[in-house]
Amino acid sequence: MTRRQSINTIVLFCILIFGFAFATLVKPETEHSESENRDLATMPKLSAQTLLNGKFETDYETYLTDQFILRDSWIGLKTAVERLLCKSESKDIYFAEDDYLIEKHTGTFTSDTAALNIRVLREFAQMYEEQFGRAHMTFLVVPNAVDILRDKLPAYAAPYDEEDYLAQIAEVLPEGTWFDAGAVLRRHTDEELYYRTDHHWETLAAFYVYQEWARRQGYQIPSEEDFDIETVTEEFEGTVQSKLGIEARPDSIELYLPKDDPFYTVEKDGAEPSYRVYDYSALDTKSKYNVFFGGNYALAKIRTRAGTGRRILVVKDSYAHCFVPFLIPEFDQIDMLDIRYYNQKLSDLIAENDYTDLLFLYNAAGFAEDTALGRIVY
């Protein structure tokens, strides 16, 4: 290589490194990634304390990762190269059979947060066991696709065993309060239970679990003939696909609309009541799963004319959103609480409402990773 070629190489290298860095710094910050459905890191504040304790450096690295110019394009390029190299996974996501993109959840169930949340849930159950009674208190933690859809995983895949973690949860709860959703779902693994491109379960899976839970609780057991099953989109590309930045086989979303449509109202975070649990406007956005309730809210209140005298509190994550509509015929009042966004004391909410039933509904990874869960015991 000649001297001139060496200089040109160095100049090109500097342009690439410093040019992209400069472009990242001067471009307007993107606060939210619609494709990933999450908030992105913004420029951290510099202070003597954050500089000395290393927090600024850590936060700045996260900022550069989230705000890097053409970030989504680079992510897609990286994934495409890995597919060409016949890799079976990327960014902790398996390329599974039938075009499924399945999250591995590496380390999720062995973390300190995962262990702490089991202790929190045990304390929560003990706090309210006498008030609700075991027959009216249910803990339902849904396994993720990596556990239920093992037959679709690549050869030699080594998924972390959620079943052991779920067994630890069941062991600390009062007898009769644990509901084994995994046992229900494993009877239907030949059907589409999870979205291919998203981390949620499908409405069909929630329906199967609701049927078995209703049977245990002594409620009316619905059949598919009781609903008009409407496919509202066939172009859903979820959060797992967004992490990879590649084109994927899109999913469809189905709504189970009761033929005997009951009257109810829905109030979300104190806003004006609406008359549907479904927000069809979400179908025009990237986050199409938000057709269920319009997304996450701290507290959503459903009031019905069921006339059963039953009132239920659902402590939940977004897995509950396609499950809760099945509750409407059985309860006069359904309050959905997401502790991640609720800034008041849960004990006050329970004291102020004459709930007859309690349902705790999370997905396994969401439960293990929830750093806000400790607030349910305050």
Tell me the per-residue pLDDT of 189-219, one tens digit each, with 9 for 90 and over: 999 999 999 999 999 999 999 999 999 999 9
Contact residues for 37 (Cβ-Cβ < 8 A; gap 6+): 239, 242, 286, 287
Alpha-carbon span 303 to 275, nearest angstrom: 10
The mean-pLDDT minimum among 49-53, 174-178, 268-272 falls in 49-53
Q: What percent of the chain has pLDDT over 70?
A: 80
- Confidence tier at 31 by pLDDT (50, 70, 90): low
Alpha-carbon span 189 to 145, nearest angstrom: 10
Contact 181, 161 (CB under 8 A): no
Torsion angle of alpha carbons 62, 68, 74, 79, nearest 10°?
10
Q: Is the pLDDT of residue 333 over 90?
A: yes
**pLDDT score recorded for residue 16:** 44
Q: What is the DSSP letter of 80?
A: H
- Confidence tier at 70 by pLDDT (50, 70, 90): very low
- Reported as type and span, the H/E element at residue 94 is strand 93-95
The residue among 282, 294, 99 whose CA lies nearest residue 198 is: 99
Q: What is the pLDDT of residues 271-292, one digit of tens each?
A: 999 999 999 999 999 999 999 9
Q: Is the pLDDT of residue 71 over 70?
A: no
Average confidence (pLDDT) over 324-331: 98
**pLDDT score recorded for residue 50:** 74
Alpha-carbon span 374 to 378, nearest angstrom: 8
